[in-house]
Amino acid sequence: MKEKQNKDKNPFKGISSSKVIYPIIIGLGVVLFLFWKEFDINAFNVLTFSAKTVFWLFVAICCMAFRDIGYMIRLRILTDGRLTWLQIFRVIMLWEFTSAITPSAVGGTSVAILYVHKEGISVGKSSAVVMATSFLDELYFILLFPLLIIFLDSQVLFLAQETGLNFRNEFLLFAIIGYSLKLAYLILLSYGLFFNPRGLKWLLLQIFRLPVLRRWRQGANKAGSEIITSSKELINKPFSWWLHAFAATFFSWTSRYWVVNAILLAFFTVKDHILIFARQLVMWIMMLVSPTPGGSGFAEYIFTRYLSDVIPVDPTLIGPVIVAMALLWRVISYYPYLFIGAIIFPRWIKTKFKRDKN
């Protein structure tokens, strides 16, 4: 009887479409505050719309579409073609929706296994797929970040020309904290998936014995079991399989980071595209420390502080202009997942869990 109750219990009970309102309120609240603080009517003379504006905004939207296409190709590879393209699209949108309404450090990974499983993939295979996506995503950041540091001027990258490159620089500090968390997670995940999955589960359980973490020990036990299951699925995959999946990952994330470049080109003449690309990647690493859903508020604030120097406008107008760019960036790259997910999620939950009860 107890087993049946557990089966019928909806594990998505804590997630609902109504939660889209919170990141919207937080994000727009920060933007409105910044607009109020920086408002200058002359900024509207700078942001003029033309055919060029429409074209580059369309390119920005296409970059986000390419990002999702890359995700879909990767999921198709990781599931060995067992899901249709429609199923894959649904999983991606639900996954992004969950990421958008949870803190950046949590993301949608914790429930992504169920999204994949409910589309007809076994629990073991679903665990392997999600763990592989996490591994590939973190690998992209871990490899690309130091390369950008090597090939770009670090003081320019972190806006440290005047204060110097030290831990008093908030951008450098946030980036190092975020990168350290990602590197630690990648090392643990790699060790667990490819070398000693049972050892990693034991380590997780020891860590979650700490009083401050004890309440999540059951979840850690489940995550450890998923890593063991995933290891069996992934350890024998050929190198070509991983190479193709990483290529799709590279295409997806890189497409996402060209969005701001396209948005800025819609209004201005942009020179240093690689620097803007690099700062977007650093921004994403910084957002890992944000406690708000989808980085709402924090993302908009960091955008206005971190990219203001690449916009060629009069310094007296940079405030309202960069705030407008931040809002446009979030409208293209973030809010669509909230609205698409809010439409798909209730119907998906009703269909999948009603089917289980029949």
77-91 residue pLDDT tens: 999 999 999 999 999
- The residue-averaged pLDDT of 212-238 equals 75
> Using one digit for the tens of pLDDT, what is the confidence trace for 89-112?
999 998 888 887 776 555 556 678
> For the chain, which residues make up each domain, given as ranges?
20-36+47-178+239-357
- Lowest-confidence pick of 44-58, 176-190, 305-319, 331-345: 305-319
- The residue-averaged pLDDT of 279-301 equals 79
How does residue 337 score in pLDDT terms, banded at 50, 70 and 90? confident
- The residue-averaged pLDDT of 120-129 equals 81
Q: What is the pTM of this model?
A: 0.82
- The residue-averaged pLDDT of 197-214 equals 73
Q: What is the pLDDT of residue 248?
A: 97
How does residue 44 score in pLDDT terms, banded at 50, 70 and 90? low
**Percent of the chain having pLDDT more than 70?**
78
Q: What is the pLDDT of residue 215?
A: 67
- The residue-averaged pLDDT of 272-284 equals 90
Q: What is the pLDDT of residue 197?
A: 82
Secondary structure of the chain as H, E, C letters: CHHHHHHHCCCCCCCCHHHHHHHHHHHHHHHHHHHHHHCCCCHHHHCCCCHHHHHHHHHHHHHHHHHHHHHHHHHHHHCCCCCCHHHHHHHHHHHHHHHHCCECCCCCHHHHHHHHHCCCCCHHHHHHHHHHHHHHHHHHHHHHHHHHHHHCCHHHHCCCCCCCCCCCCHHHHHHHHHHHHHHHHHHHHHHHHHCCHHHHHHHHHHHCCCCCCHHHHHHHHHHHHHHHHHHHHHCCCCHHHHHHHHHHHHHHHHHHHCHHHHHHHCCCCCCCHHHHHHHHHHHHHHHHHCCCECCCCHHHHHHHHHCHHHCCCCCCCHHHHHHHHHHHHHHHHCHHHHHHHHHHHHHHHHHHHHHHHC
- The residue-averaged pLDDT of 245-256 equals 96
> Using one digit for the tens of pLDDT, what is the confidence trace for 161-179?
656 566 677 788 888 888 9
Q: What is the pLDDT of residue 2?
A: 41
Whether residue 13 has pLDDT greater than 80: no
Q: What is the pLDDT of residue 247?
A: 97
Q: What is the pLDDT of residue 37?
A: 63
Q: What is the pLDDT of residue 3?
A: 40
